[in-house]
């Protein structure tokens, strides 16, 4: 298992479609389509929002990938190199089938046409059956831009008569994970039982030492403690120890009542 930035990790210049399309994931294309693709504005968002779901899907033998839109830097205690190392460590913990980075610019992410074309092309190459985006309400402009960009690119991934390579194929399903920077009460569409995977989820988050451990205050309430309380709260709502909430803009279909907990 290997991952790499498709366009380089320095992230000093914003890639254009014509630059990036021919070599998009050139040395890093999955051999077979992914079942699930988590799209994250920054390295660590996928782990915070849905590492439990990723671990559960992996335990069921599904092919799961994570695509970051930016390298997430600069941050107060991080560097591009440090963040890459931390991302590699989290990738190993989650046992991902694929991980890539689109090379867009942190802090100034925009749902513009160039970025839409690049991400739509990524969808057509990676061919996931289900995609996950950050929840649509957030204080962080990169997160809101990511949601918009993912929805627009999902639509564009089905276009014909276009300069995009590969066959048209939008992810048929799109759900939203919560990794939000607002103190708000949310009402998820469903909550996943992640009890057996909680310890590993926490380990994948701790891998991002520069983001969640270094420089964090050591008095209560501590970040990782609050994260655990949150997961317990979601678990309580479904009668389990730990849960992970998800949103959907569309109604969810179920195969039968036995599917419910």
Where does this chain bind Zn ion (CB under 5 A)?
Answer: 41-42, 45
Strand partners, 243: 193
User: Nearer Cβ to Zn ion, position 142 or 152?
Assistant: 142
User: Nearer Cβ to Zn ion, position 141 or 196?
Assistant: 141
**130 within 8 A of 37, measured Cβ to Cβ:** yes
- Closest residue to Zn ion, Cβ-based? 42
Beta carbon of residue 259, minimum distance to Zn ion (angstroms, whole number): 31
Say how far apart CA 130 and CA 116 lie, in whole Å: 18
Q: Is 168 helix (H, G, I), strand (E, B) or coil?
A: coil
Beta carbon of residue 130, minimum distance to Zn ion (angstroms, whole number): 21
User: Nearer Cβ to Zn ion, position 181 or 249?
Assistant: 181
Beta carbon of residue 158, minimum distance to Zn ion (angstroms, whole number): 27
User: Nearer Cβ to Zn ion, position 42 or 201?
Assistant: 42
Give, for 202, the enclosing helix (H) or strand (E).
helix 198-206
User: Nearer Cβ to Zn ion, position 42 or 63?
Assistant: 42
**91 within 8 A of 207, measured Cβ to Cβ:** no
Say how far apart CA 171 and CA 240 lie, in whole Å: 30
Beta carbon of residue 142, minimum distance to Zn ion (angstroms, whole number): 6
102, two tokens:
């689109």
Give the residue from 97, 190, 107 showing the smallest Cα distance to 146.
Answer: 107
Beta carbon of residue 182, minimum distance to Zn ion (angstroms, whole number): 13
User: Nearer Cβ to Zn ion, position 41 or 235?
Assistant: 41
Beta carbon of residue 30, minimum distance to Zn ion (angstroms, whole number): 24
Residue 152: Cβ within 10 Å count: 18
List Cβ neighbours of 39 (8 Å cut-off, separation of 6 or more): 66, 67, 69, 119, 131, 132, 133, 134, 146, 150
């Amino acid at each position: 298992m290997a991952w790499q930035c498709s366009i380089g990790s320095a992230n000093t210049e914003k890639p254009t479609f014509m630059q990036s399309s021919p070599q998009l994931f050139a040395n890093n294309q999955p051999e077979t389509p992914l079942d699930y693709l988590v799209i994250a504005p920054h390295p660590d968002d996928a782990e915070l929002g849905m590492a439990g779901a990723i671990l559960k899907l992996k335990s069921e033998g599904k092919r799961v990938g994570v695509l970051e839109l930016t390298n997430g830097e600069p941050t107060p205690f991080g560097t591009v190199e440090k963040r890459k190392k931390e991302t590699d460590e989290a990738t190993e913990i989650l046992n991902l089938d694929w991980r890539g980075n689109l090379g867009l610019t942190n802090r100034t992410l925009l749902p513009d046409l160039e970025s839409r074309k690049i991400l739509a092309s990524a969808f057509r190459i990676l061919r996931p059956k289900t995609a996950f985006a950050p929840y649509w309400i957030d204080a962080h402009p990169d997160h809101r831009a990511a949601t918009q960009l993912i929805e627009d690119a999902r639509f564009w991934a089905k276009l014909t008569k276009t300069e995009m390579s590969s066959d048209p194929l939008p992810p048929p399903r799109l759900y939203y994970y919560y990794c939000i920077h607002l103190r708000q009460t949310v009402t998820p569409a469903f909550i996943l039982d992640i009890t057996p995977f909680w310890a590993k989820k926490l380990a994948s988050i701790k891998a991002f030492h520069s983001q969640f451990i270094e420089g964090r205050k050591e008095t209560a309430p501590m970040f990782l403690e609050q994260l655990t309380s949150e997961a317990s709260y979601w678990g309580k709502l479904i009668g389990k120890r730990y849960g992970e909430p998800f949103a959907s803009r569309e109604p969810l279909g179920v195969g039968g009542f036995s599917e419910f907990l």
